[in-house]
Structure 1
Amino acid sequence: MTFQSLRSITEYNVSTFRRHYVSEIAGSLGDLGTFLPIALALAANGTVSLASTLIFSGLFNILTGLFFGIPLPVQPMKAIAAVAIARSFSPGSIAAAGIFVAGVLLIGSITGLLQWFTRVIPIPVVKGIQVGAGLSLVMAACTTLHDLGWIHPSWADNRLWAIGVFVALLLTHSTPKRLPYALVVFIIGLVLAIIRSALTSNLPSFSIWNPHIVVPIGHEWSRGAIDAGLGQLPLTTLNSVVAVVHLAADLLPSVPTPSVTAIGFSVSVMNLIGVWFGAMPVCHGSGGLAAQYRFGARSGASVVFLGACKLILGLVFGESLVDLLHRFPKALLAVMVIAAGLELVRVGESLNTSAARDLGRQVEDESGERVHLTEEERGKRWMVMMVTVGLLVGFKNDAVGFVAGMLCHWAYGLPGLVERVKSRSEGRVRLP
């Protein structure tokens, strides 16, 4: 990155924050519905340090905002987190998983494999991964809401709160000027959490961060890399690198889009540093980007603000925040996740329009007119996307959805390939 481009990004961040600081602050909170539950679950198990997670994720928020100039999220590696929670991983095992994924991505970034991988993936498959990720977020949030009662588990966290917040979300679409929905909901949730903590005398206290080093030993390396790291690789590559680059181009066309290599390198560096101090393995994700965009973030200033808040909280309060954050209403977080998921699902509508990156670059035919898709071609592209979505959601696995979508894409292209091979063969036969 040149000094000139860095200066241009800084000017964009500053000017955007000055003009729309409320929207930028509100948008920065959009991804908390994913970040908080996973970070708290891992911290409660003693698998990660909440203080280190807040400090390093905050630091990386600041750096990504400054270098990329877009509201790029720093969110948990979900596959690793799921395995770590289910199997009660030790700090060393989850650190090994993060280091393994970071190492593979670093090799892919340096060698150019990530760039090649992105070029060969058809846009319908990429859109399918994005839509599938959005639907997965909605389904996960609905599961959380289903577990709530009408007045339970608390007067401050139940289905009545969820319905009220969801209705408010719908009303924000009809207002002439979008309200800072995420900011208002977060403040309400924080007030409720403080009241609940005060009633049990468990308010946070000053607890200066005391860093400690986590070094995986013996079987922790194999357990982390094989049991959790391997499952995370396709998710990180497809959703946190490839899909996030395409989504950034779709949502923020006026801002320079980070390269796949830069995003892959960023994910690698974050985990090659943070996990040694007990921080949660993190990545960038299309769901988090969609969430922050949905609630108003348009520049890197939003995540710089969020990162500064995380950094201060981690340094000053540290582990004492666990109880307070556990009392943040799940109903409010779930609705925020639903909003983020629906924003990500919406990108699928541009599949067969000029907004799709491959169609936007279509060449003109011999008459000088732009080539348009036939109804059959539109149907095939739609089917490839929906096969990717269906298998991804059905199996809850990005890799399965990706493979299914690629197979569908290749199946549609097979007749044309056969015709080309046949034409070449006939041409060789006619040669004297």
Structure 2
Amino acid sequence: MKIKSFEFSLRELGGAMGDFGTLFPLAIGYIYVCGLNPSGFLVMMGLANIVTGLVYRLPMPIEPMKVLAIVAIAQHWAPSMVYASGFGMGLIWILFAITGLVGRLAKWTPPSVIRGIQAALGVMLAIEAVKLLSAGWTLGLISLLIVLALRKNRYAPAAVVLMALGISVMSAKGEFHHVAAPGFSLPPLTTFTLREVWDTLVLAGFAQIPLTITNATIATAALLSSYWPDRPVTVRKLSWNQGIMNAVLPFLGGMPMCHGAGGLAGQYYFGARTGGANILEGMIEISLGLFLSASIAGLFSLFPGAIVGAMMFMVGIELMKFAREIKAGKDLIPLGTTLVISLLSNMAYGFLAGLVVHYLMLLLFRSRSV
């Protein structure tokens, strides 16, 4: 059976909305705290989604770089610093692609460590999801039931139904009165200095690299191979993609962006199977950026957190299930090490710890067999 490259259906639309749960909080922080222009933020993200969908013809999540986003929001970076950080990361990922370094790192990383990273991300998403669910357990449980009942429904996909439910709840509460009126707005031309590029790399960019290598590149490539074994995407291609979009889009208001196993799992879980999901998501984001830029932060912040939590929780479960591919035996030890250290510190340390344990065990078994 021939696999479709593009499909534009309610199921693909549902998949396109599958990773919105991880986007909402960081988008609000970038816009409200750092002062990013919402039009540039959304239109550039939309363009990145459309181009990526056309190039790969598969669902391919476009997400904020989380370490950079969290540090930028916590330290109240100026917009120019956010744009500079994206440009700096773009140069780094282009360098990784040119040298082939990211490919060598992928070859050195065993499946047990990759699955450990995915499991850790799944647990983290599930924990954050429970926090959001606690804000409204009744609505959250209803949302979970909708996900379980409609996830594979082509005519009423769960994510689409949940978005409609969220808008209905906001309307019933009269919260649209707090949202600014629609208006047309183009992305701005943005600038930054080379000093800001270096400063942001020191403040957060270098710390972002291990997470992008593990989750956004190696784990995403592995997950793509699991979902579409006949259409693999190499880590080098993902590196080029992340490099080019981050080197170009900050000049028009784009934030630092990457791929991500969590976003991909969310898209797939809620129905995305073709590049059409990316194109649909991109069209939505461009429309929001052009016509609702003054309203979007308010809309994101007022959307019911319990519904977002329900979506995130099921995506977390989806990511954790891949750990089952690692059979009982010695491979469970580096997987467990990666998982535990990632949860106790961060994924960069978990990744390094898993690698160390894996290669120490290899040396140990070889010495015993001599």
Shorter-chain TM-score bucket reads over 0.9
Alignment of 1:11-410 (within 5 A): 12-14=4-6, 16-17=7-8, 21-146=9-134, 148=135, 158-172=136-150, 180-194=157-171, 196=173, 200-216=177-193, 218=195, 220-254=196-230, 256-352=231-327, 378-395=328-345, 397-410=346-359
| Contact persistence 2:81–2:192 (CA under 8 A) | no
Match of 1:202, as an amino acid?
V
**Alpha-carbon shift at residue 145 of structure 1 (Å):** 3.1
| CA shift for structure 1 position 216 | 3.3
**Structure 1 residue 243, shift from structure 2 partner:** 0.5
Moved more, 187-196 or 70-79: 187-196
Structure 2: gaps spanning 5 or more residues: none
Shift in alpha-carbon separation, 1:418–1:309, aligned structure 2, 3 A: same
**TM-score, scaled to structure 2:** 0.93
SS of 1:318 mapped into structure 2: coil
Residue identity over aligned pairs, in percent, reads 28
Assess if the C-alpha contact under 8 Å between 1:241 and 1:285 holds in 2: yes
Q: Does the residue aligned with 1:319 lie in a helix, a strand or coil? A: coil
1:316 Cα deviation (Å)?
Answer: 2.1
Which digits, 9 at most, give the CA deviation of each residue in 1:110-167, with x for residues without a partner? Answer: 1111111111111101111111111111112223334x2xxxxxxxxx2321122123
Query: Is this contact kept in 1: 2:34–2:73, CA < 8 A?
Result: no
* Deviation string, structure 1 residues 52-78 (Cα, Å, up to 9, x no partner): 111011111111111111111101111
Rounded to whole Å, the distance in 1 between the matches of 2:168 and 2:145 is 20
Tell me which moved more, 406-415 or 333-342.
406-415
SS of the residue 2:255 aligns to: coil
Matched to 2:89, the amino acid is V
Question: How far is 1:198 from its partner?
Answer: 5.4
SS state of the match for residue 266, structure 2? helix
Q: How much has 1:99 moved relative to structure 2?
A: 2.0
C-alpha distance in 1, partners of 2:178/2:217? 43
Distance 2:137 2:192 in 1: 43
Paired residues of 2:87 and 2:197 also in contact (CA < 8 A)? no
The residue identity in structure 2 corresponding to 1:350 is: E
In structure 2, what is the equivalent of residue 5 of structure 1? none
With normalisation by structure 1, the TM-score equals 0.80
For 1:119 and 1:198, how far apart are their aligned partners in 2? 51
Q: Closer, same or farther in 2 for the Cα pair 1:272/1:193, shift >3 Å?
A: farther
Q: Is the 8 A contact 2:88 2:198 kept in 1?
A: no
- Counterpart-to-counterpart distance in 2, 1:162 and 1:270: 36
Partners of 1:194 and 1:262 lie apart in 2 by: 43
Contact 1:40 1:50 in 2 (8 A): no
Which residues of structure 1 form unaligned runs of 5+? Answer: 1-8, 149-157, 353-377, 424-432
Partner of 1:426: none
- CA shift at 1:194, angstroms? 4.6
Q: Distance in 1 between matches of 2:126 and 2:98?
A: 35
Matched AA of 2:251: W
CA 1:197–1:101 in structure 2 vs 1: closer, same or farther (change >3 Å)? farther
The one-letter amino acid of 1:250's match is S
CA 268–98 in structure 1, closer or farther in 2 if over 3 Å, else same: same
Which structure has more relative contact order (CA 8 Å, sep 6+)? It is 2
> What letter corresponds to residue 113 of structure 1 in structure 2?
L
| Shift in alpha-carbon separation, 1:191–1:385, aligned structure 2, 3 A | same
Q: CA deviation at 1:304?
A: 0.6
Moved more, 383-392 or 184-193: 184-193
Residue 176 of structure 1, CA deviation? 8.6
Tell me the CA shift for residue 410 of structure 1: 1.7
Q: Which has the larger radius of gyration?
A: 1
**Aligned-CA RMSD value:** 2.2
Q: Distance in 1 between matches of 2:355 and 2:85?
A: 28
Q: Contact 1:197–1:327 at 8 Å: present in 2 too?
A: no
- Give how far 1:416 is off: 3.3
What is the aligned length? 369
